[in-house]
Structure 1
Amino acid sequence: MYEVKTFNAIAQSGLDTFTDNFEINQTDEPDAYLIRSVNLLAADFPESLKIIVRAGAGVNNVPLDRATEKGIAVFNTPGSNANAVKELVVALMIDTARNLFAAHDYSNAHTEADVSQRTEKDKTKFNGTELAGKKIAVIGLGNVGSMVANAALNLGMKVIGYDPYLSANAAWRINNKVKRVDSIKKAVKTADFVTVHVPKNENTIGLIGTKEMTEMKDGVVLFNYSRVGIVDNHAAVKAIRNEKISHYCTDFGEPVIANQPQITITPHIGGSTLEAETNGAIQGANTVMDYLENGDTTHCVNLPNMQVSFETAYRITVIHQNVPNMVGQISTQLAHYGINIENMANAAKKSVAYTIIDIDGLNQNNESDLITALNSIVEVYRVRVIKHQ
């Protein structure tokens, strides 16, 4: 029996996905955490914890380096809220093009008897533009960005895309009418709208700053529905004052952008739909089960992504440093205990490696000693023995 502890409100449909081999919220020493936005950066993790799954895209609320050193695999659920974010970006594009919020405020403020005559006179103040024929630059063409790009095409827009890390799977999702360029400068140069959809890491903090905004055409509309910090908010405010940016929409409020009429701030609701929360919870539950029962690391953030067919009686998984002779040291220990390897797979992600070893037999009396021996290898973070279900 595996134990799962949840944080935040996890959709019931996700909890219902777990099989009878899993118990939910019955202990403070679980095998798995299933979370949303809870801040774990300073949390103490129990020794029992093997996996943390974030039901959502970002994992900036999880201490990845510390989790790795404790042998805890960290996952997210990419794509589970992509449609929700896409729809919000499209809605705000329409709003900024047609001045909907300003028109709504005007109508609420003028409800007197002659409202019809007055609005007919004043409505030209809210003349907008149509999205059809306009250009949009999509920076980042992953799960969300590819959806935004395709939706913009369906609205009759011209789409320019930039993503130096575009995966083969993501490329298949993008309409071939999206014009791909090899720099942010080329992407934003003639765009009427610029939207950013990239993960937050050391390479993307401040990705859109003063330099990039200077390259944009005057009157551009800018969107940040990725993470706070990817767009430099101080630079955005300055660009608005200089009439470089006509409107800025973001899901992440900061004091510097508060109470600015040309800035629309939504309260981190990009992925907050019933459907997205359901998708994330279900995907998260399946991720927990796949890792604990099979050792699969698809969509793992801190380990290499591996999915190896499990056809033997037992599977040994080892999280370890990516240094020479690790596979040799592991094999030597298995040989010492007379264990024959049926299948082995190994992959690395930067400084961390993951090894999967399938075996047909294991003397139960030796299992504890084997785990101790493998864990005694200095570069090993965690060893697990999984019995085939």
Structure 2
Amino acid sequence: MFKIQTLNKIAPEGLALFPRDSYEIASEILNPDAVLVRSAEMHETDIPMSVKAIARAGAGVNNIPVPKCTEKGIVVFNTPGANANAVKELVLAALLFSSRPVTKAAEWVKTLIGKGDEIPALAEKGKSQFVGPEIKGKTLGVIGLGAIGAMVANDALALGMDVIGYDPFISVDGAWSLSCNVHKAETLDALLAKTDYITIHIPQTNETKGFINAEKLRLMKKGVRILNFARGGLVNNADMIAAINEGQVACYVTDFADEELLKTENVICLPHLGASTPEAEDNCAFMAVRQLMDFLENGNITNSVNFPKCRIDGPIPQDGVRLCIANKNVPNMIGQITSILANAKLNISSMTNQNKADVAYNLIDVEDKLGPEVIENLINIDGVIAVREIPGRKHTIPVTEED
């Protein structure tokens, strides 16, 4: 029986994927095998020793102490792309109301309450103060061409915009999903100088914090409109406010509210609505649950932020075990592991090893049961972080690449 702790309300449709005869799910649970989380802050949380994985039902993992998890051999999953359409639709809406002052117009019309029959004439007379340009024919710069950025770029083309993209780390999947009509910016500075609108879709790291700052704002066209639905810390708010007050930036739309931003004219703050759709919540839950099940039952890793993608698609030997070994990415680890198994006269039927930065992960199918001394010897290898054995059985949990 696997125990799953939920730290937030997770979409019931996703939780329903867990077979109730082999999984226990609760918000208060002792010694969980895994944790399902959305936005709950975990940096000060005492994570039990029993936890083998944490799955974030969303893309960002800022609320999870990833380095600490890696040291303990805890695999941290996220769900990239599961909420991409929800965020994309909000970005497209922001493109429109950054140009056409729809929100201001809607607020102003409400001031006409009580005017009765005069309202139509007063509304017609007052509309001139809410004029804004069309987006068709304008140039949009998309910084970051992952799942969301690529979708925004493609749909902006369909709306008649000229689109320039910048992403020096674009994945093969990202490149395949991107329209051939999206222009490639050779440098970030070139994109900043040419675009009328800019939308940011990159992760927030120590290197990208304050990514949009005074220096970059000076490179942009006067009257540029900027959208940030990625992470609040990517923009230096003080520099943004100064650029707005100077007229360099015509409008800033962000999904991350801040006291000073709320006080600033021509800033539109939303309450982190990007993934706030029932479809996105369901999709994130589905993906997170499937990834957890595949890891707990088969040892496979898909969409981890701290461990490499690694899987064996075949069944675990019914009379044997599958070893899941996390270790530091240093030389001779595989040799030491296989030597211990050979000395115990254990036959390896399948094996795969993958690495990511400073860590590596091994899946090894052994045709016989292991004695406790073998596990102990593996754990005692200098550089091994965690060892888990999964006994053979008749069924596995299939997870497709689309998941």
TM-score, normalization by structure 2: 0.93
Partner of 2:397: none
User: Helix, strand or coil for the counterpart of 2:156?
Assistant: helix
- Cα offset, 1:308, TM superposition: 2.2
Partner of 1:202: 206
Q: Is the 8 A contact 2:224 2:249 kept in 1?
A: yes
User: Helix, strand or coil for the counterpart of 2:351?
Assistant: strand
Partner of 1:73: 75
Tell me the amino acid that sits aligned with residue 265 of structure 2: P
1:384 aligns with 2:388: yes
1-structure distance, mates of 2:54, 2:192: 37
Q: Is the 8 A contact 2:323 2:387 kept in 1?
A: yes
Deviates more, 1:235-244 or 1:253-262: 253-262
- Cα offset, 1:184, TM superposition: 1.5
User: Helix, strand or coil for the counterpart of 1:137?
Assistant: strand
2-structure distance, mates of 1:43, 1:371: 29
Deviations 1:54-96 (A, max 9, x none): 0000001111111111110000001111111111111111112
Q: Is the 8 A contact 2:99 2:135 kept in 1?
A: yes
2-structure distance, mates of 1:388, 1:198: 41
- Cα offset, 1:8, TM superposition: 0.8
Matching residue within 40, 43, 50 for 1:41: 43
Partner of 1:338: 345
User: Helix, strand or coil for the counterpart of 1:358?
Assistant: strand
Matching residue within 131, 144, 147 for 1:143: 147
Q: Is the 8 A contact 1:310 1:358 kept in 2?
A: no
1:110 aligns with 2:117: no
1-structure distance, mates of 2:97, 2:51: 45
1-structure distance, mates of 2:55, 2:81: 14
Q: Is the 8 A contact 1:146 1:173 kept in 2?
A: yes
Partner of 2:61: 59
- Cα offset, 1:48, TM superposition: 0.9
Deviates more, 1:101-110 or 1:302-311: 302-311
Deviates more, 1:15-24 or 1:4-13: 15-24
CA 1:310 to 1:203, structure 2 compared with 1: closer, same or farther past 3 Å? Answer: farther
2-structure distance, mates of 1:80, 1:312: 29
Partner of 1:9: 9
- Cα offset, 1:109, TM superposition: 0.9
Q: Is the 8 A contact 1:184 1:212 kept in 2?
A: no
TM-score, normalization by structure 1: 0.96
2-structure distance, mates of 1:358, 1:306: 13
1:307 aligns with 2:311: yes
Q: Is the 8 A contact 1:163 1:182 kept in 2?
A: no
1:91 aligns with 2:105: no
Deviates more, 1:308-317 or 1:294-303: 308-317
Deviates more, 1:352-361 or 1:273-282: 352-361
Partner of 2:379: 375
Deviations 1:180-233 (A, max 9, x none): 112211112121110001111122212221121111101111111111211111
Q: Is the 8 A contact 2:311 2:352 kept in 1?
A: no
User: Helix, strand or coil for the counterpart of 2:194?
Assistant: coil
CA RMSD of aligned residues (A): 1.3
Deviations 1:246-284 (A, max 9, x none): 111111122332221211111111111111111111111
Deviations 1:127-153 (A, max 9, x none): 122111111100001011111111111
1-structure distance, mates of 2:142, 2:162: 11
User: Helix, strand or coil for the counterpart of 1:189?
Assistant: helix
Tell me the amino acid that sits aligned with residue 75 of structure 2: A
Partner of 1:242: 246
Percent of aligned pairs with the same amino acid: 41
Residues 353-368 of structure 1 mapped to structure 2, 5 A cutoff: 353-363=360-370, 366=371, 368=372
- Cα offset, 1:114, TM superposition: 2.3
User: Helix, strand or coil for the counterpart of 2:330?
Assistant: coil
- Cα offset, 1:116, TM superposition: 2.4
Q: Is the 8 A contact 2:11 2:285 kept in 1?
A: yes
- Cα offset, 1:22, TM superposition: 1.6
Partner of 1:271: 275
Q: Is the 8 A contact 1:345 1:357 kept in 2?
A: yes
Deviations 1:321-379 (A, max 9, x none): 0111111111121122211122221121111111111122224xx1x222221111121
Partner of 1:164: 168
User: Helix, strand or coil for the counterpart of 1:141?
Assistant: coil
2-structure distance, mates of 1:104, 1:27: 47
1-structure distance, mates of 2:373, 2:2: 22
Tell me the amino acid that sits aligned with residue 311 of structure 1: P
User: Helix, strand or coil for the counterpart of 1:307?
Assistant: coil
Tell me the amino acid that sits aligned with residue 123 of structure 1: K
User: Helix, strand or coil for the counterpart of 2:377?
Assistant: helix
Q: Gaps (5+ residues) in structure 1?
A: none
The alignment covers a number of residue pairs equal to 386
